[in-house]
Structure formats: C-alpha cells, structure tokens
Amino acid sequence: FNHILVPLDGTSGSEQALAPAAALAAASDAEVTLFSMVKEAFDAEPESDLVGDRGLYNLKVSIEKQDKVGDYLEKLARKMRLEGLDVCPRVDIGDDSAHLISVAARVLGADMVVMATASVVSTWRAKSVTHKLLSDTNLPLLVIRQQQ
C-alpha cells in the first residue's frame, strides 16, 4: 500500500485503528492520513428558520470546530511521526461521514482505509458509517473491532 486513510471520530475506540494502520504503513512504507470531519454548524432553530430546515450556516463556528479537531489529529500524527511514519492530518466539514471518507480517499489517492467499529459485522446497520463506506468505495477496508 502507498497511502492509508484512517478515519477517526475523537473516541478512544476509533483510535484502536492507529496501531494496525501504523504497522501496515511501516511494512509498506506508506503515507498515512488521519481523517476526521466536523458537522456543519447552524445558528437558527429549524422551526424558526425561513430559509431551510437546518438553520443558517455558521462558517465561523464550523471553522473553529475544524481547528479543534485538527489539533487533536496533529497530536496523534506527532506520536506516529516519532515512529518514523509519514503522517498528515485532514479535517473536512460536512454531515455524511461515510461520503466524506470516500471522497477524501479518492482526492488523496489513498489505496486502503483502516478504521475501527464498535459493532460486529452481523449487526452493521444500513445507515452505519462502516456499511455505507463499504457501499461507497471500492478500496480495501480493514475494519478493526473495538475492544472495551
């Protein structure tokens, strides 16, 4: 593999994908992108909003959230760089995690996704990020079962 994308949601469970991703990257001299997303921020309550059902978009709040998540990813990236890995953080703004992961993988030229999930394969719901990602990309997907 040349480029591994690791989606993270800020939980310790999602971080369980880091060690397997690091091992794969070290074995294949691959670049790693730590990826996360922040939900778009809206100001108005939907019932009081005259322009739509989600409220008025607040770019400033979205960017502040993006910066905070970027700091979190950079902290993780620094630890991995100490192991000699080529690691970059990336944060996108949106509201569909699976779609953003898929788009980021294409844009970045990733050839593998390594992620952790709390559910077992037999219980993946049609709307789960893992299930949607399987439908949305043709990349190899290594899914790590989160340990409690």
Q: What is the pTM of this model?
A: 0.84
Residue from 74, 87, 75, 82 nearest 31 by CA: 87
Judge contact between 7 and 33, C-beta under 8 A: no
Task: Region of 138 please: left (phi>0), alpha (psi -120 to 50) or beta.
Answer: alpha
Which residues, in sequence order, are CB contacts of 104 under 8 Å at separation 6+? 5, 33, 35, 90, 92, 110
Q: What is the pLDDT of residue 108?
A: 96
| 3-class secondary-structure state, position 1 | coil
**pLDDT-flagged residues of the chain (< 50):** 49
Q: What is the pLDDT of residues 79-110, one digit of tens each?
A: 999 999 999 999 998 888 899 999 999 999 99
Residue 117 has a pLDDT of 87
Contact (CB, 8 A) for 138 and 5:
no
- Report which of 107, 110, 99, 105 is spatially closest to residue 135, judged by C-alpha positions: 99
Phi, psi of 62 (to 5 degrees): -60, -40
List, in order, residues 6 or more apart from 48 with CB less than 8 Å away: none
pLDDT for res 134: 81
Please tell me the distance from the alpha carbon of residue 4 to that of residue 19, in angstroms, as a whole number.
12
